[in-house]
Amino acid sequence: MPAPARRGTLEDYLAADEIVAIPALADAEWDAIRRQAGWKLTRRFCTLRNLFVHGLRFTGDAMGFAWGGIYRTLFVSAIVTTSYRNEGHFRSGERIKGTNDFFVGNFALPRSGAETREIVRLVNLRHHVAGVCKPVQDERVRVIDVYEAEFAYVATAFIESIRRGLELCGLPPGSGPGRDLAWQICVVLYQVAGFAGLTRMPRDLDAHDRFRDAFDRRLRERPPSPRVRRMAQEIARRIVPVTASFADETVARHVARHIDPETREYLFPGGAIPEALESQRIEWERRQPREGRTSGIEKRSRDRRTIWQRPDVAALQLAYHQAVFVNTADEVDDRLVGAILLYALDSGVDARPLERRSIDLAAGQPLIRQGGTVSEMYVVLSATAPLVVLHATEAAAEPRQVATLAAPTVLGEIGMWRGQPAVATVLSREPNRLEAIVIDQARFAELKQESGFRAATAAEVQRRLALNSALVGTLLDDTAARTGDPRLASIAQLFRFLTGDSHVSLDAVIDLPDEATPAECLDALRRQVDDAIRGGLPPDLERYLGNVVSTIG
């Protein structure tokens, strides 16, 4: 019999009776478990080696092993491609600091406290923007089924790396105390993953071990493609100076002690660690003040709560909520609005607010005109009437209406990003008043270098491509298989990657360096589509690929 289709859920790795819902613990139960586990971990990592190396900061060794779990997840192609495709969301140091705040804060701070709620709210926004979770109510999210097993494996990798550290500190994993502490760590870390959208977990430690073994076996049977491995290595080099700093180690000692041998060879082949990484660690530590385990987390949470009150951020938050829960039309990309909200939140307490403007349009008056220069980007917060999108072609006497847009939505960013004329006209058929966040060319030149804005632009291109993704993807796959044309196979993989399919292997992509950025992937897709159309294609595929070219500007 053929193997069952992959679902991406825990059932791919465990029997149904070995999977349970993550229990809803009362605050008192949760606080008792995390405190007890934290005390036991502290005692176990208080070794002569760690006292000698770290002094009274010996818990850095435990942090180092926890970070070793993050590196283990870079074996997972979907995690790597999602991180790489959405790399614009966060600077590397800020991203790792945010992840550190999430795990340490949930482990060390009361769950019901303002700081913990703020950390979870931000992480869930990030996960939604990255496309692995869906909001369900308020700031809560639920992991998308196809990512459930990989999401659970993040917690698993943390757990297993900490267990490896405990073994090196003298606690055998198969001993009674070793198993007891391992299960407490499982309860804590699967609960923490539950705060970010995971709803199920292995039933007990034996089920956890079977899930770990089955997932690792699949990783070895279907290793990442060379391109994905190159992405993983690039991510590792960007973040290792920061995680070494958190672990209170040099980069070389951090890699040697805290990353398991298989992962170490995968990310740093032959032990090759560029000397520049140690310089980057020293520079990071020079710029970052020494702080207590929770004091920095509490300060960052307080600062961010202040930013949430800023008028432009409050307006973006409302627009994001409307995009997610109120206006669910296909045209509205809630992830894009969320990405711009992330940019505003990451800008800091002293940043200049984004401009808000009221725009009055007469009936038929264009906000953006096809063929014209796009000089401003608009985050339309509200409108008194719908906006329509018209596209003119040489074959038609009159422009064709291709979409109707309702607020909230974002307009103009692709034309400004690519520096090319607008590919469509946006207007209102009746008098209309828009309330919008407006970004002019001067601000765009500044924001183009910023992480959140790059993410917003990439997310909007992804949305536009995804409008016809199912049809175009099927046509591409069928035609590539029938003709054996490597160019079409390359287009098919780039198309799926850029429309959010993190499971695509990227092993058929041609004419693109391994280290290419997401923006360069977009350029490659456009170039390859142009070449394929000139070479001759079936009419349906040529028409749909032509739409792709016009969509991405």
Higher pLDDT, 424 or 163: 163
| 292 Cβ neighbours under 8 A, 6+ residues apart | none
Q: What is the mean pLDDT of residues 340-367?
A: 88
Q: At 39, which amino acid appears?
A: W
**First-to-last CA distance in the chain?**
47
Give the pair of three-digit tokens for residue 148: 């459930």
Q: Which two tokens stand for residue 145?
A: 């089924």
- Cβ 236 vs Cβ 74: under 8 Å: yes
Please report which confidence band the pLDDT of residue 391 belongs to, taking 50, 70 and 90 as the band edges: confident
β-partners of residue 437 are: 356, 379
Q: Compute the distance between CA of residue 125 and CA of residue 339 in angstroms, rounded to an integer.
A: 8
Q: Mean pLDDT across the chain, nearest whole number?
A: 84
pLDDT at 493 over 70: yes
HSE-CB at 281 with a 13 A cutoff on CA atoms is 24
In this structure, the number of other CB atoms found within 10 A of the CB of residue 102 comes to 21
Query: Mean pLDDT over residues 532-547, rounded?
Result: 74
Q: Are 462 and 89 in contact (CB under 8 A)?
A: no
Query: 273: helix, coil or strand?
Result: coil
Question: Which pLDDT band holds residue 131 (cuts at 50, 70, 90)?
Answer: confident
Sole residue written with tokens 């490659």: 524
Query: What structural domains and CATH numbers belong to the chain?
Result: 10-295 (no CATH), 309-465 (2.60.120.10), 468-551 (no CATH)
Residue-wise pLDDT tens digits, 107-123: 777 777 788 888 888 88
What is the pTM assigned to this prediction?
A: 0.79
- Asked if 370 contacts 424 with a C-beta cutoff of 8 angstroms, the reply is yes
Q: What single-letter DSSP state applies at residue 384? A: S
Please name every residue paired with 357 in a beta bridge, in sequence order, or none if there are none. Answer: 436
When comparing pLDDT for 369 and 345, which is higher?
369
pLDDT exceeds cutoff 90 at 364: yes
E strands, 100-250, where?
Answer: 133-137, 140-143, 200-202
Cα dihedral 372→378→384→385 (10° resolution): 40
Non-local (6+) Cβ contacts of 500 within 8 A are 85, 131, 462, 466
Please give the Cα distance from 491 to 549 (Å, whole number): 12
Edge-to-edge, what's the strand order for the sheet holding 376-383? 355-361, 432-440, 376-383, 409-411
Counting every residue, how long is the chain?
553
The answer to whether residues 228 and 219 touch, using CB atoms and an 8 Å cutoff, is no
The CA distance from 89 to 314, in Å, is: 19
